[in-house]
């Protein structure tokens, strides 16, 4: 495996950064497809259906990315607890 790719996922933080970039690209794609749908209003119904399906799948992917981001946050929190990286709050 390429060492640059491996280095990208060595830490939870780097994986979170990657998910952030992926989410940003996803949002840009959604905007582009929605703009294309507005331009293609007079196009064939089949083409419009295909664009609607693309929007649906991009939204579904966005939900998965949000869930993955929350899971990474949970993992980061657990790692900090296990390694006592977080200061304890006095009761």
Return the HEC string of the chain.
Answer: CCHHHHHHCCCHHHHHHHHHHHHHHHHHHHHHHHHHHHHCCCCCHHHHHHHHHHHHHHHHHHHHHHHHHHHHHHHHHHHHHHCCCCCCCCC
Residue 31 lies in a domain: yes
Average pLDDT, the chain: 88
The whole-angstrom separation of Cα 65 and Cα 16 is 10
Residue 91 lies in a domain: no
Residue 43 lies in a domain: yes
Please write the tens of the pLDDT for every residue from 75-91.
Answer: 999 999 998 876 666 65
Q: State the pLDDT at residue 42.
A: 82
Residue 90 lies in a domain: no
Please write the tens of the pLDDT for every residue from 2-24.
Answer: 666 566 678 999 999 999 999 99
């Amino acid at each position: 495996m390429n060492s640059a790719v491996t280095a990208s996922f060595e830490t939870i933080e780097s994986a979170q950064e990657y998910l952030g970039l992926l989410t940003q690209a996803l949002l840009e794609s959604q905007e582009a497809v929605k703009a294309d749908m507005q331009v293609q209003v007079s196009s064939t119904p089949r083409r419009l259906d295909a664009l609607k399906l693309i929007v649906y799948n991009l939204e579904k992917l966005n939900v998965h990315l949000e869930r993955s981001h929350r899971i990474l946050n949970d993992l980061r929190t657990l790692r900090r607890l296990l390694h006592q990286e977080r200061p304890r709050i006095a009761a």
